[in-house]
Amino acid sequence: MSMCSKPFRMVTRKKVLVVAYTGKNFEKLLMVQDSKTGEWASPGGGQKRSEKLNLSSSERDFIRINKIDPNAYVAAERELAEETSGLFTKFKSAPETFTFTTYYRPPELLRVDNARHEVVRSLYTVFLYEIPHFHVSLNNFVPNKEVSAIKIAPFHEFSNVWCFFKDFYTRILVNHIKKKTYNTCTHGSNCSSWIQPQSVSASS
């Protein structure tokens, strides 16, 4: 009798990534240090199926016009607040957004996926958020169960960056910044440099 292996099934997980930055060309990034691994990355995480929607009218308009998943928007604000211990809560200005997909999984989760006969595809919504200059001091940060430290600095000054985030930064974010810079109008203050939400596909 031949033995047939159990087929793998595709599972899609929705996630968010908040790239908080200062400077028009993303000169400095807000990064958080994982309390378990010591690795640095932008705030982010899994999107709950039903986030608590508590949005202002301007936020609802922004979500509708840019066709953003409301759950993703709220999840991004929640992750930003949780991982910075409340120093950053709601977005003070409308972030730019784009999406990308990846099959990357940490080794320990990949083993779980294989045991469950699952192939996990992560759909990320990225929020590019420019931090206001008048924001609170990072000295007020209190470590939490997920994050041991936070810092705003140029990307190259961070050591021990999470491999997934490093790949995202070099392969996706840098290209987005170049496109944004290329499309920026330099002839008059009435010109808009906003990039509309776009989809980028990447496998890691």
Q: Report residue 134's pLDDT band, with 50, 70 and 90 as the boundaries.
A: low
- Asked whether the CA dihedral 71, 73, 74, 80 is positive or negative, the reply is positive
Q: What are the domain boundaries of the chain?
A: 9-183+196-201
- In contact, 38 and 157? CB cutoff 8 Å: no
| For residue 179, pLDDT beyond 90 | no
Encode 146-163 in three state secondary structure: CEEEEEEECHHHCCCECH
Most confidently predicted of 9-18, 65-74, 170-179: 9-18
Secondary structure (H, E, C), 82-134: HHCCCCCCCCCCCCEEEEEEECCCCHHHHHHHHHCCEEEEEEEEEEEEECCCC
What's the CATH class of domain 9-183+196-201? Answer: alpha beta
Q: Are 41 and 168 in contact (CB under 8 A)?
A: no
Q: pLDDT tens for residues 57-87?
A: 888 888 888 888 899 999 999 999 999 999 9
What pLDDT was estimated at residue 137? 83
pTM for the model stands at 0.82
What lies within 8 Å, CB to CB, of 95 at 6+ separation is 18, 76, 127, 128, 129, 130
Give the pLDDT confidence score for residue 3 in this predicted structure: 57
Contact 131, 30 (CB under 8 A): yes
Strand pairing partners for 18? 127
Which of 151-167 are b and which e, b meaning 16 or more Cβ less than 10 Å from the residue's Cβ? Answer: eeeebeebeebbebbbe
Q: pLDDT tier at 155 (50, 70, 90 boundaries)?
A: very high
Burial of 54 (0-12, 13-18, 19+ CB in 10 A): exposed
Identify the pLDDT of residue 198: 38
Per-residue pLDDT, 1: 45
